[in-house]
Amino acid sequence: MRRIAPLIALLCFCAATAQDWAPIGATWHYRWLLFEPPPQEGYHRFEATADTVINGQATRKVISPSYPYPIYTHDVNGLAMIFVPGLDLFDTLFNINALPGDRWGMVPLPEPMWCTTESWVEVVDTGTTLMNNVPLRWLAVDYHYLAEEVEYVEPDTIMERLGSKRNFMLPHEWCNQSVNPGVISDLYCYSDAEIDYVEPGIVDCDLGMGITQVERSRLEVYPNPGSDQLTFNWHGHTKYSVTFVDALGRVVLQDQFSTGPYPVGVSELCFGIYTVHVRSPSGERVSTKWIKR
């Protein structure tokens, strides 16, 4: 792979250099989770702000006031590339033209990671959908995380314009908590000049996850990752149900709590990444991810 030196300069582009991925003004809101006590939840807002050149390559600068460094990305006919800080190269973020069976390695972030650099993404299905009357291609993919000689598989959908829906723009974020404390995960909202996307259940992209709501609905699930037993504590709730869903979408464990904190035995669950849904009798719901290892 050809290395590109980090020579960055501002440049004004004509219309011929416009890109569908990360157009200027586009915004993404991603969920943020901190598992270490005391657990916290919130969001990060990213925006594509400027056209830039890295050693002659036209690229787009994406920033967030709460993320430690900018993201530089561009696409060439559906192949989205991202600049890897510290390694001085561009690597594949996703290829919207991919076919079932195609795969590529995850972006090798240049920081200590729980997962290995051999982790990869594999396409399992493709299609097209309409969003605000704009046709958008999508890829159903499996993320294969390799960590401590164990493979974790997590399904996701990558959409044109939006990128990953169940993971952060950089899929290795789950493996890397040294750059940014906590984990940035699900896409809550996306917006550009043509389309707007809001994840079902999100009322307002900027206000729906404010401090008051986070404190009222704060869910503690620990330890994460875990192995034999984990504890649930949903602040402000004394009775709720819990459902574990595996990477294939199967319900593998259900339980009901009447007090908290409440321990749950999970020793019989297989290694992997699970989505945990918690629901109160009044219908209030919170979801989080949990890793069994």
Query: Does residue 22 have a pLDDT over 90?
Result: yes
Query: Does residue 137 have a pLDDT over 80?
Result: yes
Average pLDDT along the chain: 78
Number of other residues whose CB lies within 10 A of the CB of residue 248: 10
Alpha-carbon distance of 10 to 13, in angstroms, equals 10
* Type of residue at 293: R
The pLDDT confidence band at residue 141, using thresholds 50, 70 and 90, is very high
- Residue 107 is classified by DSSP as P
Can you give the residue ranges of every domain in the chain? 8-198, 217-292
Alpha-carbon distance of 111 to 147, in angstroms, equals 15
pLDDT-above-70 percentage for the chain: 73
CATH number of 217-292: 2.60.40.3080
Number of other residues whose CB lies within 10 A of the CB of residue 9: 9
> Average pLDDT of 193-214?
65
Q: Which residues are bridge partners to 134 per DSSP? A: 131
Cβ pair 111, 138 in contact under 8 A: no
pLDDT digits (tens, 9 = 90+) for 219-242: 778 887 888 888 888 777 778 888
Classify residue 229 as exposed, middle or buried by CB count within 10 Å of its CB (0-12, 13-18, 19+).
Answer: exposed
Alpha-carbon distance of 204 to 125, in angstroms, equals 31
pLDDT digits (tens, 9 = 90+) for 99-125: 999 999 887 654 545 566 678 899 999
- Name every residue whose Cβ is closer than 8 Å to that of residue 283 and which is 6 or more positions away in sequence: none
pTM of the model: 0.68
